[in-house]
A and B are shown apart, each in its own frame.
Chain A
Amino acid sequence: MLTTYLNTLPYTKFVLIEDSVTAKGGEILEYLLKNHENKQDYRTHLFVFERNFNQIKNKHPGSECHDFTSDLRNWMSLTTSDMETVISNLEENCVVVIDSLVHVLYRYGLLGAYQTFTDIKNKKNVQQIITVLHTDLLEDRDKVIQYFQHLSTLHMELQPKRVLYTYKKSQRKIIKQLEEYYCDSGKFITQPIKKPDKDVIRETVEQINPENMSTFKIGLSEKDKESRSNLVLPYLPKETNSSDGKIHYAFDDIDDWDEEDPDDDLDI
């Protein structure tokens, strides 16, 4: 189950959520964030790259928010945070949530983003990194996804109503599964995909009687079947009881009758 893998201690190091317009990952991120905010033994750092910073800050009083939306290029000389300094200042035990990875890629380039994430991942005090990758905003989608999958330890690919995840449990064990998910009042619930029972399918199929669905008669009654079996078709050999003639052959003296069937070896 995906939720158990997400919540087991020690936390898996790098959670990568791959979402798209058809299957959005916002609710899952929100759920994970809420989960971490309730914990006392570490701080949660939220790197905000999308949406209104103040709204998000008010929504998440439990986590330390870093503003990357207001003045990303430092044009207005607001003293907003710089990603590198924030990361190098992460000293105590913490969880890092970055929303979203695409913006880091835009800002720092592929190599820069990858190096940043490797840096955070290699920090011992960071318990977990969580990030969302909006796949439909990427230029070279497959490659970027491949690189970050390589780095991630738990990678979730969201599809409508389903999530395909790869969990690198340890050095040796990898779990890859497809599960159903839904979000219910801030909770993220996954369950294995239920396969419909074979007996149920058979029963429902049997219940459907084509006889009732048409305005004309499709089947045959017992009487119809009997008369059908008694019908003699014109091309079939007719059984005749009248014995009009038979061939009687009397052997001549010179006839050399072979007892054996000449076609015996044909095995017909």
Chain B
Amino acid sequence: MEKPSRGSFNIPGTVINGQNAQLLTSTGISSVDSILGGGLPVGTVTIIEEDIYGSHAKIMLDYFLAEGIVNDHSTLVASLDMNPYNIIKNLPAVIHNDPEESTISSDSIQDDKMRIAFRYQNLPTSDKDSHNIGHYFDLSKTMSLADIENSDICYWNGQRIENGTSMFANPAYNELLKAVKEKIKEGKFFLKDNPSKRNVLRVGIHSLGSPMWLPSRDSYHLMNESRDLDMFIFCLRALVRSAFAVAVITIPTHLYHENSLDRCIHSSDIAMRLQTFSGTELENNFSLSDYHGFFHLTKLAAINSFASKHPGSIEYVFKLRRKKFHIEKLHLPPDLQEVGSSNSTPPSIACGSSNKHLLEF
């Protein structure tokens, strides 16, 4: 990745991280941006492991694409499972304020002051970044068609696939790589290019490696036996690294074996996983009832630096409201009487139990 010097170019929707000179762009979700240390570095490939029913990962992809359109970035959308035009058509609409902010703040205004833990009085309830580069979106509304028509969007649905010789078992992978390369070339996004106005290309690939990407039409091969997926991610990363482009891919990884999954994560820069509660035992868990699933940050590569910004062993959860998708740290609720009443016996010291034993001294 090229180290951009400060202020050398001014691309809307991006910001330069002073510490390691990364050019960052927003994922569209402010809480994800802050976990990633400001945003997605331009020139990286992010993979999102879909939850079993795929819907939440799609929403994250929607945010990423919508953010690009609002910032006038160029966009390439690809999917074999659904029409990419429908993905763009149903992107959330941009709004000026955080949609749920007003309700949250009204809830949290409590007049009674903390008397003992007064130091925590002014602590914010959720992490807020003072300099937010992203926009806010309303999931209940869709983006206006005028905005979509005015932006540079390239759709790829695998319609014209030539059966040429390539290293991939399914030629669709090769075609998609070619399409990305064409787009980068055509829009002059390569680092060596010198366009009049610098811009960023956002590549969004929905449900890559789903059964639609199975090896070939008549063979009975299974996905695990082919190396298509991780090879594709590796090649895409090489392509994106050499350009002003950033890619987000969602993958239905629950259909894959762990080994092939590890290879994919290895070939990516940022890997995250969504794990929904619905349909599992966790659905009925008392302390998780406010949330819809776990958000795991599997990998956060150290780019232009030695240390990854990976937050360590913090557990994150996601919540999907009517208008907003949100990620926050998982705080277990205080252990109050209702929950703890089952084990009412107080803990005792090892050598001296409360009811005296005959031989105890």
Contact = CB atoms under 8 A, between A and B. Distances in A.
A135 to B, nearest CB: 16
Nearest to B215: A111
Interface string B32-65: 0000000000000000000001111001000000
Interface stretch (A2-10, A63-71, A146-154, A206-214): A146-154
A147 B222 CA distance: 10
Contacts of A176: 279
B220 A109 contact: yes
B214 A114 contact: yes
B279 A166 contact: yes
Interface residues of B, number: 33
A214 to B, nearest CB: 42
B217 A143 contact: no
A173 interface: yes
Given A109-B219, A147-B255, A265-B361, A172 B320 contact: yes
Size range of the interface on A?
Answer: 20 to 34
Interface string A168-194: 100111111000000000000000000
A229 to B, nearest CB: 28
Contacts of A74: none
B210 interface: yes
Secondary structure type dominating chain B contacts: loop
B360 A267 contact: yes
A52 interface: no
A110 B220 contact: yes
Given A150-B252, A172-B292, A111 B279 contact: no
A139 interface: yes
B218 A109 contact: yes
Interface string A226-268: 0000000000000000000000000000000000000001111
Given A111-B217, A172-B292, A266-B361, A150 B255 contact: yes
Most buried by A among B53, B254, B320: B53
Given A150-B255, A172-B278, A268 B218 contact: no
9 contacts: A109-B217, A110-B211, A110-B220, A111-B214, A111-B217, A112-B218, A114-B214, A140-B222, A143-B255
Interface of B: 53-56, 59, 80-83, 210-212, 214-220, 222-223, 252, 254-255, 276, 278-279, 292, 320, 356, 358, 360-361
Given A110-B214, A172-B320, A267-B361, 20 more contacts: A109-B218, A110-B220, A111-B211, A111-B215, A115-B212, A118-B81, A122-B82, A139-B220, A143-B222, A143-B255, A146-B254, A147-B211, A150-B54, A150-B254, A151-B211, A171-B55, A174-B278, A174-B279, A175-B279, A267-B360
